[in-house]
Structure 1
Amino acid sequence: MGALALATAAPVAYVAGFTVFKLSGRRMPRLTGYRFLHATVTLATSPAWLFGLALLIGGMVVQSIVLTQLPVSVVVPMYGPVMLVLLLVAVTNFRERVTAGELGALSVLVLALLAFAAAGGLLSGPVAAGSGGTWHPDAPLWRIALLIGPSLVFPLWLFVVRDSPVDGRHAKRVTGVAFGLGSGVLVGCAESSGAGIARLLQHDPSAWQHVLRTPHPYIVVVAGLIGAGLAQIGLQRCRLSVVIIMLAVGSKASLWLGGILVYGQPWPETPTKFVLSAVGLVLAVASVFTIPRHEREDPVAEEPIAPVQTPFAPPAVQPGWGTMLSAPVVEPRPAVPRSAAAMRYAAMQDEAARRRSG
C-alpha cells in the first residue's frame, strides 16, 4: 500500500474510533475528570470503549509509519475529506443539528487544510514517498519539554478544575470546543512521539531497548490515554461534530508545530510555501473562534437520587390519576344571622300555612 493510501487510512481509523466512543458513552454513567478513578475504572471495564481505543492506536501506528515517508506538511491536509465524512455521520447517524456558525467554522477549516495542502505540494502533483525529511527521534529534552509542558497544562486544568461538579445557578456551561482542543493537543503530542519511535525502529525493528531509554513511549502512553479519556468525556456530553473537528484542529496543529520546532521537520522552502503555511495556521485558529462556544448538554445515565426526608417534610406522593384528577373541595358557606323582621315574617307564613291545612 502506498504512502498516500496509508495517510488516508489513518484519519479513517481515528474517526471510526471516536464514533465508537460516542456510541459507548451513551451506556456509561456520567464521567467527569474530577472523579478520575471512577472514570478510569468505567472506561477500562467497557469492551466497546477498549475496541474504540484499539482503532485509535491502529490509526496512530499507521500515521507514525507514514510520517517516516512523507513530510508533516503533506500528512496534515489528509484530514480534510474525513472531516466532511464525519459531518455526514453526525447528521445521519446521531441526528445532530449543525448550525450555520458550525458550517462556517468547518468551511474555514477546509480552507486552512487547502492552504496546507498547497504548501505541501499536494495540489501541484503527486508527492514521492521517502521525502519525509529528518524526524529527529533524539531531540533535546528541553525541546520536548517545551512541546509537552504547555500541552498538558490546559487539559489538566480541564480535568481537575473546569470539570469539577458544580450544579445549580453556578453550574459551568458545557463546551465541546474546550474538550476537543484539550484532547487534541494531547493526541498531537502522542502522534509526534509515535513518529519518533517509528523513526528509531525504521532501520532496526529490534532496537526496543534504545526506544525504552527515550521519553517517547511514555509520552505516547500518558498523553494518548489522557487525551482519549478527555475526548470520551466531551463526546458523552457534546456533539460528535464539534468535539472531533476541534480535536483535529488541536492535534494537527500540535503535530505540525512540534514536527517543525522540535523534531527537525523542514520549514517551508520557498516564500510562497511559507505564506501558504502561515495562512493555513491563521485560518485554523480562526475556525476555533468562529464555532459556538456553548451548547446544550446531552443527557447521560444518572443514578437516581432519593429525595431528602426531614421530620417536617410532607410524605412523598407518587404521581397518578388520583392526584391529577382530584375532586374539588367545596367549603360550607357560613350561616348568616337573620334579623327580627325576617323571623316575624317567617312565623306569619308558618301560621298561614297551618290555617290552610286545618
Structure 2
Amino acid sequence: MIVTVLLGLAAACLLGLGFVAQQHAAYTEPLGEMLHLHLLLDLVRKPLWLCGVATMVGGQVLGALALRRADVAQVEPLLATNLIFALAVAAAVYRERLGRCEWLGAVLVSGGVAMFLLAGQPHDGGVPGPVSVVWVAILATLMVAAVLVLVAVRVTLPTKAMLLAASAGMLYGIQDVLTRASLVTLEQAGRGPGALLTIWQPYTLLVIAVLGILLNQSAFDAAPLRISLPATTAAEPVIGIMLGVVILGERLRADPPALAGEVAGLIALVAGIVILGRSPYLAKSEQGAQRRPGRRRR
C-alpha cells in the first residue's frame, strides 16, 4: 500500500506540473479555436505545452503503475491532490507564502483523501464485467459529458471553462478505469504487454484521451487556471470511483458509519479543490500573458 501511495502522489505531482505548463500555453490561444482540433495543432508547436504534455504523460504512466497495484477507488483520491502540487509550484515560482485559504484547501484535500480511504476501504476489484455493461456505463458518462459541452457553448467564459473542465475530468475518469481494466485483463490472462494490441480497451482509451485533452485545453483557453483546473480535478476521481464500482466490481464498505465517512471525505476533497482553485497564486498564470491577434479581452 505504501508503494501505491507513493506512486499515486508522484503521479499527482507530475500531473499538477503538466497542467500548469499547458494552461500557460493554451491561455494565449484565440477563443475561436476552443473545441477545434486546430487548437491542438497550434499548441503542438509550443515547447512549453509539449513539456507540459510530456510531464502529464509521465504522471499518467506512474498513475498506471499505481492502478496496476490497487483498485481505482484507492488511486483516484491520490491523483486528485495534483492541484496541491500545482499550487506549491506556483507559490515557489512567484516567491509568495501560502495563506490561510491555501492551507485550508490543502488540509481539506489531504484529509478528504485519507477519510475516504479509511472509511471506504475499497477492495475486490477484478476483471471488467460484461462488455454490454462496460459500454453502457461508458456511453452514459460520455452523454453527460456531451451535455456539459453543449451547455458550455451558450454560457459566459468562466462558466464555459468550468463545464469544459468538468467534462474533461469525466473523460479522464473513464481513461483511468480503462487503464486499470486493460492491466487487470492482461494479468488475469497471463499475457505480456504486446497483447494490449489485441484487446479493445487501449484503442478506446486513446480516443478518450485525445478528446479529454481537447476539452481540457479548451477550458485552459477560456479561463485562468484557478477557474479551469479545479473542475477537472474534482470530476476525475468521482467518475473514476463510480465507474470502478460499476465496471470493475470494486467494493466500498456500505455500513452507515462508512458511508458517512466516504461522503464526508468526497465533500471535503471537492471543497478543498475549489478553495485551492481560487488561490491568487494560480491566478498569476494569466498575468503578463501575450494575447495572439484577434483574441477578445476577458
* TM-score, length basis structure 1: 0.65
CA drift of 1:205 comes to: 1.5
- 1:183-217 deviation per Cα after TM superposition (whole angstroms, max 9, x unaligned): 111111111101111223334224526x5332x11
Rounded Cα–Cα distance in structure 2 between residues aligned with 1:301 and 1:70? 44
In structure 2, the CA distance between the partners of 1:132 and 1:66, relative to structure 1 (3 Å rule), is: farther
Rounded Cα–Cα distance in structure 1 between residues aligned with 2:207 and 2:251? 28
Answering whether residue 113 of structure 2 is matched by residue 134 of structure 1, we say no
Which residue of the partner structure matches residue 163 of structure 1?
Answer: 153
Rounded Cα–Cα distance in structure 2 between residues aligned with 1:143 and 1:100? 45
Which residue of the partner structure matches residue 173 of structure 2?
Answer: 188
Which residue of the partner structure matches residue 278 of structure 1?
Answer: 263
Rounded Cα–Cα distance in structure 2 between residues aligned with 1:157 and 1:274? 29
Equivalent pairs: percent with the same residue?
A: 20
Which residue of the partner structure matches residue 198 of structure 2?
Answer: 212
Task: Tell me the SS of whatever aligns to 1:276.
Answer: helix
Rounded Cα–Cα distance in structure 2 between residues aligned with 1:79 and 1:40? 24
Amino acid at match of 2:173: G
- 1:61-92 deviation per Cα after TM superposition (whole angstroms, max 9, x unaligned): 32222123223343233246543332233445
Q: Is the contact made by 1:192 and 1:259 (CA closer than 8 Å) also made in structure 2?
A: yes
Q: Is the contact made by 1:32 and 1:163 (CA closer than 8 Å) also made in structure 2?
A: no
User: What are the residue-to-residue correspondences of 1:233-272 with 2, within 5 Å?
Assistant: 233-268=218-253, 271-272=256-257
164, 184, 187: which is aligned to 1:199?
Answer: 184
Over alpha carbons, which structure has the higher Rg? Answer: 1
Rounded Cα–Cα distance in structure 2 between residues aligned with 1:156 and 1:91? 35
In structure 2, the CA distance between the partners of 1:249 and 1:105, relative to structure 1 (3 Å rule), is: same
Rounded Cα–Cα distance in structure 2 between residues aligned with 1:179 and 1:56? 18
Whose relative contact order is higher, 1 or 2, with alpha carbons under 8 Å and at least 6 apart? 2
How big is the alpha-carbon RMSD for the aligned residues of Structure 1 and Structure 2?
Answer: 3.8
Which residue of the partner structure matches residue 174 of structure 1?
Answer: 158
Rounded Cα–Cα distance in structure 2 between residues aligned with 1:9 and 1:74? 15
CA drift of 1:239 comes to: 2.6
Rounded Cα–Cα distance in structure 2 between residues aligned with 1:279 and 1:84? 19
- Structure 1: which 5+ residue stretches go unaligned? 122-130, 165-170, 306-358
Point out the more displaced range, 274-283 or 13-22. 274-283
In structure 2, the CA distance between the partners of 1:241 and 1:110, relative to structure 1 (3 Å rule), is: farther
Which residue of the partner structure matches residue 151 of structure 1?
Answer: 141
**Equivalent pairs, count:** 283
* TM-score, length basis structure 2: 0.76
Task: Tell me the SS of whatever aligns to 2:171.
Answer: helix
Amino acid at match of 1:205: G
CA drift of 1:249 comes to: 1.0
In structure 2, the CA distance between the partners of 1:159 and 1:45, relative to structure 1 (3 Å rule), is: farther
Q: Is the contact made by 2:149 and 2:167 (CA closer than 8 Å) also made in structure 1?
A: no
Rounded Cα–Cα distance in structure 2 between residues aligned with 1:257 and 1:135? 15
Amino acid at match of 2:191: D
Rounded Cα–Cα distance in structure 2 between residues aligned with 1:230 and 1:37? 10
Amino acid at match of 2:192: P
CA drift of 1:221 comes to: 1.2
- Structure 2: which 5+ residue stretches go unaligned? none
Point out the more displaced range, 57-66 or 107-116. 107-116
Rounded Cα–Cα distance in structure 2 between residues aligned with 1:206 and 1:12? 26
Q: Is the contact made by 2:80 and 2:237 (CA closer than 8 Å) also made in structure 1?
A: no
Task: Tell me the SS of whatever aligns to 1:2.
Answer: helix
Q: Is the contact made by 1:105 and 1:287 (CA closer than 8 Å) also made in structure 2?
A: yes
User: What are the residue-to-residue correspondences of 1:45-194 with 2, within 5 Å?
Assistant: 45-79=45-79, 82-93=82-93, 109-120=109-120, 133-137=124-128, 139-157=129-147, 159=149, 162-163=152-153, 172-175=156-159, 176-194=161-179
- 1:220-279 deviation per Cα after TM superposition (whole angstroms, max 9, x unaligned): 112211112221222233232343222121001111111112111122265533332233
In structure 2, the CA distance between the partners of 1:134 and 1:37, relative to structure 1 (3 Å rule), is: closer
